[in-house]
Amino acid sequence: MRVGLLVAVLLLASCSLHETVQPSDIAPRTADAALRAYYNQLDIELPKAPAGPALPAANTVLQRIGFGSCQTSAAPIPILDQITAENADLFIYLGDNVYGSGRPGNATLPNLREQYANLAALPEFQRLRQQTPMMAIWDDHDYGMGDGGGDFAFKHMAEKIFLEFWNEPKTSIRRKRDGLYDAKVFGVKGNQVQIIMLDTRFFRSSPLIPSDEPFAKGKERYLPSFDPNMTMLGGEQWRWFAEQLQQPADIRLVVTSLQVLPEDHGWEAWHNLELQRQKFFQTLQTSQAKGIIILSGERHLSAFYKKEGIADYPIYEFTASSLNRKFADKTDEYDTLQLAPAYTPHNYGMIEIDWEGRNLSLQVKGENGKTQRELQLSFSDIGL
């Protein structure tokens, strides 16, 4: 018996924390349906982020967008005060916004809830939250399972916790469908920024192919899969993504917790499912959308990447990680598509848009707010 099904059977056997099982209560015939029913009647308090400003109005022209990933709420996050001082129009959390993937065997994910509660209580997070509008997507550690994919039995609970913490409006489409993918457009014609946030966890096929030489260069953890039956986004999200690329916009920030362009390392990334990576490229090419820049996190380093031959202009990727969970002070990692040495101390990303001058500045900023790496792009560099 699968672990998820066994858990569901045990849950149904005890029904809930408050009720006795009745014959009509055992209608769910799959582990997934049983867990959904269990979570729907579960009466526990979920942590919430402090109230913050609403997202910018739809006609707001964005000029400064901050973003970052990989922060543990088990320690102070002093860099958040520096981000607050930036007074950006918007801050995007790219995933691993808390580290709550430990002890995933409990269906109510107590460790994940605890880590979110810790984050809500941190003064530096409260200050950033109270000043700067935020958007967020998750990665594995706030999904609830390290390197987890669509087979994670308790993903519906993780989704429920995420939506409550980030105060997702009750009318939000995110509350009406599976997965956390979402998109918003800000600005007016000629000055529009579209932010597309992809969910690379909820639907992703599992397991990944383990390395045959763990920690060998290029094979650190996983090998690429060429299985045509594996998916990164799931059918519905793939269709949605293609539709979003047809929406009117100028600059398009495609947010994916996992790196897309890098292909030389063996850590988690889109190249673990190489055919899905190629489908991503094909989707961009078919759309003929202009102004695409990929934003990613997860890697505990920040770097810029560039790939030719996808569209009629180069596709750039900006990885920003981590906010307070660095793994090293420096690295010798240098991908074939990488534009400059990676930056590994604590950092965040910033994009400054000069609409009048028609150029962008992509900046990796350190804990003191100083720019550590910078990539200058003209609008023509991204097809505009």
Please say if the pLDDT value at position 135 is more than 90: yes
For residue 327, give the 3-state DSSP assignment.
coil
The confidence score (pLDDT) of residue 62 equals: 98
Please say if the pLDDT value at position 4 is more than 70: no
The confidence score (pLDDT) of residue 233 equals: 98
Q: Do 192 and 84 share a domain, yes or no?
A: yes
Which has more confidence, 40 or 354?
A: 354
Please say if the pLDDT value at position 14 is more than 50: no
Q: Do 70 and 200 share a domain, yes or no?
A: yes
Residues 41-45: what's their mean pLDDT? 91
Q: Do 69 and 35 share a domain, yes or no?
A: no
Residues 89-115: what's their mean pLDDT? 93
Q: How far apart are CA 35 and CA 317, in angstroms?
A: 37
Q: Do 131 and 22 share a domain, yes or no?
A: no
The confidence score (pLDDT) of residue 35 equals: 87
Q: Are strands 292-296 and 222-223 parallel, antiparallel or unpaired?
A: unpaired
Please say if the pLDDT value at position 364 is more than 70: yes
Q: Do 158 and 305 share a domain, yes or no?
A: yes
Q: Which of 350, 309, 180, 369 is nearest to 257 (CA)?
A: 180
For residue 161, give the 3-state DSSP assignment.
helix
Dump pLDDT digits (tens) for 281-310: 999 999 999 999 999 999 999 999 999 999
Please say if the pLDDT value at position 1 is more than 50: no
Range of the domain at 22: 1-43
Q: Do 249 and 167 share a domain, yes or no?
A: yes
The confidence score (pLDDT) of residue 40 equals: 87
The confidence score (pLDDT) of residue 231 equals: 98
Dump pLDDT digits (tens) for 141-184: 999 999 999 999 999 999 999 999 999 999 999 999 999 999 99
Q: What is the CATH number of the domain that holds 179?
A: 3.60.21.70
Q: What are phi and psi of 160, to 5 degrees?
A: -60, -45
Q: How far apart are CA 303 and CA 70, in angstroms?
A: 15
Q: Do 72 and 2 share a domain, yes or no?
A: no
Query: CB of 277 within 8 A of CB of 271?
Result: yes
Could you identify the residue written with the tokens 């990665």?
Answer: 139
Q: Do 22 and 61 share a domain, yes or no?
A: no
Count of H-run helices and E-run strands, the chain: 9, 14
Contacts of 201 by beta carbon, 8 Å cutoff, 6+ apart = 138, 139, 140, 143, 148, 149, 150, 152, 155, 257
For residue 17, give the 3-state DSSP assignment.
coil
The confidence score (pLDDT) of residue 15 equals: 39
Into how many domains does the chain fold? 2
The confidence score (pLDDT) of residue 27 equals: 57
Domain end call among 43, 59, 74: 43
The confidence score (pLDDT) of residue 30 equals: 84
The confidence score (pLDDT) of residue 5 equals: 41
Q: Do 59 and 173 share a domain, yes or no?
A: yes
Identity of the residue numbered 375? L
Q: Do 15 and 64 share a domain, yes or no?
A: no
Q: Do 26 and 72 share a domain, yes or no?
A: no
Q: Do 39 and 53 share a domain, yes or no?
A: no
